[in-house]
Amino acid sequence: MPPETASSCDVIRGYLQQEDHQALESFIESLSPKETMWAISHLSDEDRHRLICLLSPEEAAELIHDLPSAQVADLLEDIQPAAAAAIVEQMHSDQRADVLEDVEKHHADAILDALPLQTATDTLALMAYSPDTAGGIMVTEYLAYPESWTLSHLIVDLRRNREQYADYQVQYIYVVDDDRRLQGVLPLRDVLLRPAQDLLRHVMIPRPLSVVVTTSLDKLIQVFGQSHFMGVPVVDEEGRLLGIVERASVSNAEGARSDNMFLKFSGIMTGEELRSMSLWRRIGGRLAWLTVNICLNVVAVSVIAVHQDTLAAAIALAIFMPIISDMSGCAGNQSVAVSIRELVLGLIKPNEWLRIFRKEVIVGVLNGLFLGFVLFIVAWGWRGNVWLGLVVGGALGINILVGSLVGGLLPLFIKRIHADPALASSPMLTTITDICGFFLTLTFAAMVLPRLTP
């Protein structure tokens, strides 16, 4: 049976019914990470709960390794703190911190209480770093030895703790001084090639590339883009070694950030929703934005309310107003998207409003002329009234220009005041284009009202 079919879920359910731990484990091991994710998110809350409880903590940690951390957090909230802590203990340090940040406060505290003291302290320290920095992404599983050790000391330690180190991504040995300040690195290869009595201080590569714990994700993406290292050491202000940022963690963080941006841009205010999440979280994340939006809408349509006599006199305008507001919103959103992407790529800086203005004004004028002309023809042809054509065509043309300019500039402005352009740009834009579109249409109409009414 191919594991891609919908029934991988059914197979798991079957084994859960039989409480066949052995078969369950080997079936799950046969699934690819993507299939595992799919199967887990399709189990009922109850089955998921039973599955996690039936597996050993090691197996459970392995199972949920690739799930989005919001989903792991949901799973952990449903089980006893002691059982959750046992699973959390088996995770890598970075995932541990990410997941506990997503777990509700009082659950997280209970889990931290149930962890061994050292692990809890380390995890709290990692949780204190902002998730978009080296500190928030690094792992604390790495190998560091004093520079005064010999290679043979090191090899003895490696052999003795082989089991503990088995999960570490060991490509480099880090060499530190008595204050744990990073002094050098030693590629694992060199450990084999050099005489065993050499001191680490003499065989290490001194002054290695390292990043400070507050280094931003953007900077890390750049560092890994320019090098072929699998990991880069993270140090504090005094140069003391704190952890390792791995290449894979940086790619994952980059992917998570762009997913988050996409969802925020589409009005999921929390930046995260999976359909396996609880109903109230899903509704909350969506309503938060829809409630803001209804207020913005009321502001926008109050322009219509003020001019409703004009509208009543020339009811045909009501047919064209939705076209004008929607088209200008679309044109503006195109500019918003290009600005957000150029900001992320670093192709524009938040103070370059003059450049954006120059680039958007010409696109806005030409698109506005073209589309305004199209609507002029449509309105004139449909209603046989050239004045109606002029009113709606003119309003659309000008409003397309307004949308392009405002859309291009808004993300820069929002970035400058340190808010999130992905979240705020699009709603602010459409409110402005709605207000402006209604105002232009009804004002132009009022100017030629006698010629609009039959």
Site for its own copies in 167-196 (CB under 8 A): 169, 189, 192-193
Residue 37: its H or E element: helix 33-42
Is 336 a binder of its own copies (CB under 8 A)? yes
User: For its own copies, which is the closer residue by CB, 37 or 112?
Assistant: 37
Is 359 a binder of its own copies (CB under 8 A)? yes
CB 411 within 8 A of CB 277: no
Q: How far apart are CA 235 and CA 449, in angstroms?
A: 71
**Residue in 345, 381, 417, 454 binding its own copies, rule: CB under 8 A:** 345
Site for its own copies in 231-250 (CB under 8 A): 247-248
CA distances from 419 to 340, 342, 350, 404, 406 (A): 13, 17, 12, 21, 17
The phi, psi pair for 215, rounded to 5°, reads -55, 135
Q: How far apart are CA 65 and CA 61, in angstroms?
A: 6
Site for its own copies in 201-230 (CB under 8 A): 222, 225-226, 228, 230
Least spacing, CB of residue 363 vs its own copies, in Å: 6
CB 142 within 8 A of CB 158: no
What the block records as the tokens of 104 is 């509700």
**Residue in 95, 215, 276, 441 binding its own copies, rule: CB under 8 A:** 276
Q: How far apart are CA 247 and CA 244, in angstroms?
A: 10
User: For its own copies, which is the closer residue by CB, 116 or 255?
Assistant: 255
Least spacing, CB of residue 63 vs its own copies, in Å: 15
CB 136 within 8 A of CB 97: yes
Site for its own copies in 117-136 (CB under 8 A): none
Is 410 a binder of its own copies (CB under 8 A)? no
Least spacing, CB of residue 371 vs its own copies, in Å: 6
Is 199 a binder of its own copies (CB under 8 A)? no
Site for its own copies in 313-332 (CB under 8 A): 315-316, 318-323, 325-327, 330-331
Q: How many CA atoms are closer than 13 Å to the CA of 374, on its beta-carbon side?
A: 10
Least spacing, CB of residue 385 vs its own copies, in Å: 14
Is 283 a binder of its own copies (CB under 8 A)? yes
Residues 6+ apart with CB under 8 A from 428: 410, 414
User: For its own copies, which is the closer residue by CB, 79 or 311?
Assistant: 311
CB 357 within 8 A of CB 405: yes
Residues 6+ apart with CB under 8 A from 282: 273, 275
User: For its own copies, which is the closer residue by CB, 274 or 419?
Assistant: 274
Q: How many CA atoms are closer than 13 Å to the CA of 58, on its beta-carbon side?
A: 3
User: For its own copies, which is the closer residue by CB, 41 or 119?
Assistant: 41
Site for its own copies in 1-60 (CB under 8 A): 6, 32-34, 37-38, 41-42
Q: How far apart are CA 9 and CA 346, in angstroms?
A: 44
Least spacing, CB of residue 269 vs its own copies, in Å: 9
**Residue in 3, 267, 350, 394 binding its own copies, rule: CB under 8 A:** 267
User: For its own copies, which is the closer residue by CB, 33 or 116?
Assistant: 33
Least spacing, CB of residue 1 vs its own copies, in Å: 16
Q: How far apart are CA 325 and CA 438, in angstroms?
A: 7
**Residue in 209, 287, 377, 419 binding its own copies, rule: CB under 8 A:** 287
User: For its own copies, which is the closer residue by CB, 54 or 374?
Assistant: 374
Of 375, 385, 397, which is closest to residue 450 (Cα–Cα)?
Answer: 385
Q: How far apart are CA 321 and CA 305, in angstroms?
A: 13
Of 339, 287, 331, 297, which is closest to residue 427 (Cα–Cα)?
Answer: 297
Q: How far apart are CA 349 and CA 21, in angstroms?
A: 56
User: For its own copies, which is the closer residue by CB, 128 or 188?
Assistant: 188
Least spacing, CB of residue 121 vs its own copies, in Å: 30
Stretch of residues binding its own copies (CB under 8 A), selected from 11-19, 92-100, 160-168, 348-356: 348-356
Least spacing, CB of residue 56 vs its own copies, in Å: 22
